[in-house]
Amino acid sequence: MKNDLIRYSCQIALPGFGKDAQVALRQAKVLIIGAGGLGCPSAQYLAAAGIGVLGIADFDTVSLSNLHRQVLYTPSDVGKLKVIVACQKLKQQNPGITLVPHDVRITSDNIIDIIQQYDIIIDGTDNFETRYLINDACVIAGKPLVYGAIYQFEGQAAVWNVTNADGSRSPNYRDLFPKVDETQIPNCADGGVIPTIAGIIGCIQANEVIKYITKAGELLAGKMMLFDALNMQSRVVKIGKVSRTQITTLMQTTDTPTMSVSQVKQGLTNNTLDLIDIRTDQERDEVDIGGIHFEADEIDDNTDYLINQKVKVLYCSSGKRSGEAVKIIREKHPQAKVYSLAGGLKAWFEDTD
């Protein structure tokens, strides 16, 4: 305890914080889902603050294009599992806390079992299917959820599903966004992102977790903070005090049928598949690796072509837009031989074969 008093002396000295708040942090269990641009700064500051148990869930590996915003990783970590690297480095940062790696893809089959082990959850993901899944699972399990999202120069943060004094629950993600057409919204890899916005929003998420655990200040519950790093402006939008949604079951997640870069290149050599670029015209003009081109919102206009007998591989910048498009096509036409290029153009240009 003496070492703790020295290590955490600056935060213990805060008005209204004290030793009791530090004990609360030491006894807390926090799960971060996604060890990327948001998860890295959130994890670093929560580890530094002395969170007792810090779980990190991710199944991805470090790639070169991650390094400008995912500040836990270095070039020597490329190709390694993010969650393992993150836990190793955070343990070095603070040996007095417990790090729990969850090297799994979060799905409808495992999410409840995983989040039940923790007091509060941070959403550091960058795709809408997982975001909705985490939100719904936290509502069903009664867990507060700290939300964050970034795109280009802008970021958002909120705290969902907090228990109010009367036993009701504060709004969740579906109160604000009941349903989103995710094929129309690019992620960081597709639309770009300034690295500092990841640090800003990730730190805000960590800040809300510390406030929740120590009962300090006013949470971003029932409201959302919007931040514009380009103009250095922020505002808080009020949503309401009580959730109006009813969530009783989890959406079922499905694996996206994919092909690796090497499989696609072999198929192109053998003329056994067609490559389809579903990016925008502007993206196509900037980078073109061949194949047929039509945008994601033109998929329905090309249904007859997409469901004929020849294999089709869709691609975008990161594999996320094409992955969602493949899911939609297969839901409507189960017989369609459509796949997504795993990792998108990022993986294509990183391939050394």
Amino acid at 177: F
Cα distance between residue 207 and residue 322, in whole Å? 34
DSSP secondary structure letter of residue 113: H
Active site residue: 87, 138, 188, 203, which one?
A: 188
147 three-class SS = strand
Q: How far apart are the first and last CA of the chain?
A: 54
138 is catalytic: no
Cα distance between residue 78 and residue 101, in whole Å? 18
CA-based nearest residue to 134, from 34, 29, 38: 34
Query: Cα 29 to chain center, whole Å?
Result: 19
256: left (phi over 0), alpha (psi -120 to 50) or beta: beta
Q: Which two structure tokens, joined as six digits, stand for 154? A: 């802008």
DSSP secondary structure letter of residue 163: B
Cα distance between residue 53 and residue 75, in whole Å? 28
Whole-number Cα distances in Å, 339 to 66, 72, 171, 251, 273: 24, 32, 36, 22, 10
Q: Which two structure tokens, joined as six digits, stand for 76? A: 């020597």
- Cα 212–Cα 218–Cα 220 angle in degrees, nearest 5: 80
Whole-number Cα distances in Å, 256 to 132, 329, 343: 17, 11, 12
188 is catalytic: yes
Active site residue: 40, 87, 138, 316, which one?
A: 316
Any idea which residues carry the catalytic annotation?
188, 316
